[in-house]
Amino acid sequence: MNLDKTVVSASVVCKTYQIGNINVEALKDVNLEVEKGEFMIISGPSGSGKTTLLNIIGGIDKPTSGKIIVFGHNLSSEDEDFLSNFRCNNVGFVFQSYNLVSTLTVAENVAFPMEWARKPQDYIENRVEELLRIVNLERRAEHFPFQLSGGEQQRVAFARALANDPPLLLVDEPTGNLDAKTSLKIVQMLQKLKDDGKTIIVATHDKRIIELADQKMYLEDGRLVSLNE
């Protein structure tokens, strides 16, 4: 393992949820390595554990056993305050269900991760403008999420994920809820991010996104296998 180049390293990661008296194994002995600038896709049927794996890589969830190292930090042993700072500065999340803060406007949704990272005010204003231009939503800056369509909300979610220019981007089913035309815009956006050298992990079934990938993984019943070989 090249420590300088490896961004994500998962070894024998297991995740078990307890629902009542039943244990549900979401991930079973998952091993994974993602290098800097790599574009990885994880596909698999619904309920196979894709979102769980992304959550564990992003420090939102912790594995039941195994080790997950991201940017040299063993996330399974870090406390919540560390993980909060880590997520704020290193990871950009795009959730499946957009998940924008409904009480904040589009511009504020994009700005708040930067406010939290103590970026200067001028920088934040310029960056918000820039990001909204990239996602083609400059005119919607002062609208609230409920005033946007699903595709627009997804693009705002991308803009927010990129706000702090994170080296790692985790994207969960970005086109799952969108029509073909809107999905294409998202694919183009991912293509551009890949060209910019971002490390990107996407959980998706979308063939157009899968075609962009350097590494293709498949998850089924919690087990991860490579599709490259």
Q: Measured from the CB atom, is 128 or 213 closer to another protein? A: 128
Among 50, 155, 160, 198, which residue interacts with another protein (rule: CB under 8 A)?
160
Q: Nearest to residue 46, comparing CAs of 182, 208, 203, 207?
A: 203
Backbone angles phi, psi at 6, to 5 degrees: -75, 125
Cβ 83 to another protein shortest distance, Å: 9
Cβ 138 to another protein shortest distance, Å: 11
> Which window, 22-30, 124-132, 187-195, 214-222, contacts another protein (CB under 8 A)?
124-132
Q: Nearest to residue 177, comparing CAs of 139, 141, 204?
A: 204
Residue entry with tokens 């994880």: 42
Q: Which residues are 22's β-sheet partners?
A: 19
Among 69, 124, 212, 213, which residue interacts with another protein (rule: CB under 8 A)?
124
Binding of residue 142 to another protein (CB under 8 A): yes
Residues 64-123 that bind another protein (CB under 8 A): 80-81, 84-89, 93, 95, 97, 99-105, 107-108, 111-113, 115-118, 121
Residue entry with tokens 């991912």: 190
Classify 202 as helix, strand or coil. strand
Count of positions (residues) in the chain: 229
CA dihedral for 145, 149, 150, 155, sign (positive or negative): negative
Q: How many other β-carbons are positioned within 10 Å of the β-carbon of residue 85?
A: 13
Cβ 93 to another protein shortest distance, Å: 6
Q: Measured from the CB atom, is 5 or 133 closer to another protein? A: 133
Note the residues at the interface with another protein (CB under 8 A).
55, 58, 60-61, 80-81, 84-89, 93, 95, 97, 99-105, 107-108, 111-113, 115-118, 121, 124-125, 128, 141-147, 160
